[in-house]
Amino acid sequence: MTVDQPKEQVAVQRAFEQEKRQVWARDRHTGDLLYLPDGQADGEVRPGVTWRSYTAGGMLLCPMRGCGPFGRVVASPSRRHHFAHRSGADHASGTGLETLWHLSAKELLARWAAADPALHGWQLHIDDTPITMPDGWRRPDVLAISPDGAEQVAFEVQYSELTGEQWRARHHFYARAGVVDIWLFAHHGPQWRTRVASGPARRAELAHRDSGWTAAVGLSGLHQAMLQDGVVPLWLDPTTQSAGTATALFAPAAPPRSRTSRLVRDPALYVLPPEQDFRACFVAADPLEKCRVDLAARELLTPAKARQHEEYTRLLADQEEARRRLAALQERNELRREEERRRRQEKAQQYAAEQEEARRRLAALQERRRRDNELRRKEERRWRQEKAEQYVAEQEEAQRQADLRAAEERRRREEEHAAAQARLLIPLSEQYPPMFDHDPPAPDRTRGWWRLRRRRPR
């Protein structure tokens, strides 16, 4: 906490911290309840009079019935300034404090309501105007009545235990009577049970501490009943003049593992009212002066609640966006699947076409082979036949040649024979022509065999 921080922020940070010191006092002169702001011991309670001197003068009474004036203002830099009883006169124990806070809470509410623009000009009644119906009556702690009397707002500051059923009965009573009822729970007692947050919840709590978040508070059956009926529980701390709003953090989409982990899941969260089955929630504190009565919505609109409304709008927008994205994704997937189907079909068709083509080619090939074989066989047959014919022709030719040769031989022989026959008749000298063209040398017939030969008789 630094000195630069605005006072209201400091007050908000101290809100709902179970302040037990008395900060409200009744003015002995006017009978009004007065609020001592923090650090204002030497500030003026009225022109020229400080809280310190006014208290020391015995002019400020303890608001408790039958209790005397306060003795002094306790002021120190480290602690909240507050009133102290004279020694020995301290009543501050037991139920006394509750009564005291109840008193101051009502007073605070009435004062704040008078300054609320939404209730401008309204009559304010503390504890003195009952609302009657044929089936009963109720007297709200603070009742605001519009100038024309047509509208009424009842404020209830609840300190004691109350069941959900009892609250519902009262809530419905006010509804039947046409009265807007605003419920504020006490910052002490049975309606304020702090819980020690742990783990992520603790971290979230600390992270929001500066913006007024207090410790986690247990939600009773009463609070859950209110949440069921769409009423966000509120608390009031009269010692810091702050209002607290039940708040929880929600993860965007991930399904929660358990009820407690639903409080906090991760830092990117929605700040929303707790759900009706929550056992605990955070309390976001705001200065009461920043809260307004929203007559149309029949509620007390705290800044925290306004934020919850914004967050809810954001959540819806995000969900819409998520739905849109999902739809787009599904559409894209569908398109992709369609494309895939088409591609497969095309492939199958292509495959079938290829198969068909292959079959066709194979058939053509087989046909061609068959034809080729046939041709070859035919050719071969023809060739063989030719060969055979040729052979036969050759044989015949050879025979003819042989015959011719034989005939020639015969003829030659016959000629030879005829010639031989003829030669027998022709003188031998004629038969043998001269061996040389010129005359041979005249033989020496006187010698050799020539002589002998000539002597041989013919």
Residue 141, CA atoms < 13 Å, CB-side half-sphere: 24
> What crossing angle do the helices spanning 164-176 and 221-228 adopt, rounded to 10°?
40
97 counts as binding Zn ion under rule CB under 5 A: no
Q: Indicate the residue among 103 and 153 with the shorter CB distance to Zn ion.
A: 103
> What are the phi and psi torsion angles at 437 (to 5°)?
-75, -35
Q: Indicate the residue among 238 and 273 with the shorter CB distance to Zn ion.
A: 238
Residues 141/126, Cβ–Cβ less than 8 Å: yes
21 counts as binding Zn ion under rule CB under 5 A: no
177 counts as binding Zn ion under rule CB under 5 A: no
Q: Which of 15, 45, 67, 197 binds Zn ion (CB under 5 A)?
A: 67
Q: Indicate the residue among 62 and 217 with the shorter CB distance to Zn ion.
A: 62
Q: Indicate the residue among 22 and 240 with the shorter CB distance to Zn ion.
A: 22
Which one of 90-98, 136-144, 238-246, 397-405 is the stretch in contact with Zn ion (CB under 5 A)? Answer: 90-98
What gap in Å lies between CA 344 and CA 245, rounded to an integer?
Answer: 60
113 counts as binding Zn ion under rule CB under 5 A: no
Closest distance of CB 109 from Zn ion, Å: 21
91 counts as binding Zn ion under rule CB under 5 A: yes
What gap in Å lies between CA 132 and CA 129, rounded to an integer?
Answer: 10
Which one of 75-83, 89-97, 190-198, 220-228 is the stretch in contact with Zn ion (CB under 5 A)? Answer: 89-97
Distance of CA 344 to the CA centre of its chain: 31
Contact track, Zn ion, 336-375, x by CB under 5 A = ----------------------------------------
Side chain identity at 248, as an amino acid letter?
Answer: A
Which one of 61-69, 215-223, 244-252, 333-341 is the stretch in contact with Zn ion (CB under 5 A)? Answer: 61-69
Q: Indicate the residue among 56 and 315 with the shorter CB distance to Zn ion.
A: 56
Which one of 84-92, 154-162, 266-274, 383-391 is the stretch in contact with Zn ion (CB under 5 A)? Answer: 84-92
Closest distance of CB 95 from Zn ion, Å: 13
Q: Indicate the residue among 6 and 94 with the shorter CB distance to Zn ion.
A: 94
75 counts as binding Zn ion under rule CB under 5 A: no
Closest distance of CB 93 from Zn ion, Å: 10
Which tokens is 365 given?
């090939």
64 counts as binding Zn ion under rule CB under 5 A: yes
Q: Indicate the residue among 72 and 314 with the shorter CB distance to Zn ion.
A: 72
Tell me which residue has its CB nearest to Zn ion: 62
Residue (of 332, 320, 304) closest to 252 by Cα position: 320
Q: Indicate the residue among 62 and 179 with the shorter CB distance to Zn ion.
A: 62
Q: Which of 12, 62, 109, 201 binds Zn ion (CB under 5 A)?
A: 62
23 counts as binding Zn ion under rule CB under 5 A: no
Applying CB under 5 A, the residues found at the interface with Zn ion are: 62, 64, 67, 91
